[in-house]
Amino acid sequence: MREFTASELDAYLRESERKPLLLDVREPWEFDKAHIEGSTLVPMRQIGDHIPALHDAEEIVVICHHGIRSRVVCRFLESEGFSNVINLAGGVDAWARFVDRQMPTY
């Protein structure tokens, strides 16, 4: 499984012509507090229900609060045949600390 730090993801998003699906697997209340612009919310417990729609994504960056739930989801997606998933190490917390310092933390 690939991983990006917050800074690496920021650079990747700026440089890449094709944007990956930014899949946020936190709970709705967490997403409402802070999220990376352009990300799509699908809570971790609902990932299985969204597998058919996710197969359309070429590349998926999985995001959570600190990178633990997203790592679990990455492994699950890989077990379901996804080959191009990336975990955001440190999650939105790292994004807020190193990329978007205006983003609230919790």
| Residues identified as active-site | 64
What are the residues whose beta carbons fall under 8 Å from the beta carbon of 52, sequence distance 6 or more?
A: none
* CA-wise closest residue to 53 among 40, 36, 68: 40
What is the C-alpha separation between 24 and 89, in angstroms, rounded? Answer: 13
